[in-house]
Amino acid sequence: MFYIHPIFQFLVTVLALHVFFLGWPRLRATFVGGRAFFRWKRHVFLGLISLIALMAGLIGGAGVTFYYWGGTGFTRMHYWIALGMIPLMLFGLISGLILDRNKGRSKRLAILHGLNNFILVIFAVIQIWTGLNVLRFFVM
């Protein structure tokens, strides 16, 4: 049971990295001006899946921790980073939906969305490292 969460989150993090790199040309073009080839629909579809899956994985990890250990927070850094990711995931989801509905209208929101999700992806990658430590110290 403990291994479902890390495998799921690792795969979702790989998907989130892919989604970020799909959005990178748009973010870069917004900063430097000009046009960029941007797979809008694919970025939106996979971004929605990855953000919802990251949130589901966070809830699943907290649920497994609570079920087996009687509470959350035992994993310290892994737990605190996950909590810090919640507002980033929510902002990424909401801003992405707004940007999808109003294509090309809000340059500032597009930049904030891209920077927010860049930080989120960095946190997700850090969570791989902290998650490996959780497995090593608490499970194995």
Q: Are 80 and 127 in contact (CB under 8 A)?
A: no
pLDDT of residue 1: 61
Residues of the chain with pLDDT > 90, as a percent, come to: 61
Q: Are 57 and 9 in contact (CB under 8 A)?
A: yes
Highest mean pLDDT: which of 11-25, 59-73, 104-118, 126-140? Answer: 11-25
Dihedral of the CA atoms 114, 120, 126, 130 (nearest 10)?
Answer: -170
pTM for the complete prediction?
0.89
User: Which H helix or E strand runs over 40?
Assistant: helix 40-69
CA neighbours closer than 13 Å in the CB half-sphere of residue 7? 4
pLDDT of residue 29: 84
* Section 77-101 average pLDDT: 96
pLDDT of residue 52: 97
Minimal CA–CA distance to 138: which of 55, 65, 59?
65
